[in-house]
Chains A and B, each alone.
Chain A
Amino acid sequence: EDKVVQSPLSLVVHEGDTVTLNCSYEVTNFRSLLWYKQEKKAPTFLFMLTSSGIEKKSGRLSSILDKKELSSILNITATQTGDSAIYLCAPPQGGSEKLVFGKGTKLTVNP
């Protein structure tokens, strides 16, 4: 059965810290992996990763995929209180358009 494990489940940091969020996956016929940010509303799309070793970057956020290790990381540098959210990773299920969501990492950034 396809599954996604994210770690840590919860993280509390101070503004300015750098954080690394982890996502491990087991899916058949892997095609891509997506990261979403969810504040007090709907998940919003951050990145889609398809190739190993190629970093995707958006401002202070960056993400990279390691197909050999079946994992991905999301880095946030110089965190701000506005980064407080649940971060979800999700690869599509093999042969399907369904996304397999992890439980998420709840990030809290304190001033």
Chain B
Amino acid sequence: DAGVIQSPRHEVTEMGQEVTLRCKPISGHDYLFWYRQTMMRGLELLIYFNNNVPIDDSGMPEDRFSAKMPNASFSTLKIQPSEPRDSAVYFCASSLKSSNTQYFGPGTRLTVL
């Protein structure tokens, strides 16, 4: 069974450019989470969805960040415009409510120059 799939795995862009990160959760999972990880701040939850509906976006740093989940098998995290301080590894994770156990994707390493 395929795990959580993320693309791209690496992204290098210049400040001011739009960046879109993609995630496909594990089939049948009803929760999807977006995290950001840096050395300084550790693993931070940005937003999570339940049945495609955003439940808590309190971790989204500012209006430059937006996330969507148009259907049960796809989600995007968009940064527009990107800034160097957005450089981090972005993880997507999914879970079943009955289990509380989140399974993480391989992450997207974003570098903003």
* A contacts with B: majority SS: loop
Question: Given the interface contacts A32-B100, A88-B43, A97-B31, does A42 sit within 8 Å of B48 by beta carbon?
Answer: no
Q: Which of B95, B102, B103 has the most CB of A within 10 A?
A: B102
Least distance between A106 CB and chain B CB atoms (Å): 11
Is the Cβ of B100 less than 8 Å from the Cβ of A48? yes
One digit per residue, 1 when the CB lies within 8 angstroms of any chain B CB and 0 when it does not, for chain A 1-45 equals: 000000000000000000000000000000110100000011111
Least distance between B62 CB and chain A CB atoms (Å): 20
Count of chain B residues with a beta carbon within 8 Å of a chain A beta carbon: 21
Set of chain A residues within 8 Å of B33, measured between Cβ atoms? 97-98
* B contacts with A: majority SS: strand
Is the Cβ of B97 less than 8 Å from the Cβ of A97? yes
Partner pick for A34 among B43, B50, B101, B106, CB 8 A cutoff: B101
One digit per residue, 1 when the CB lies within 8 angstroms of any chain A CB and 0 when it does not, for chain B 84-113 equals: 000000010001010111111111000000
CB-contacts of B21-73 with A (<8 A) = 31, 33, 42-43, 45, 48, 50, 55-56
Is the Cβ of A98 less than 8 Å from the Cβ of B48? yes
Question: Given the interface contacts A88-B43, A98-B56, A101-B43, does A42 sit within 8 Å of B101 by beta carbon?
Answer: no
Cβ contacts A to B, 7 pairs, < 8 Å: A31-B100, A43-B91, A44-B104, A48-B99, A88-B43, A97-B31, A98-B48
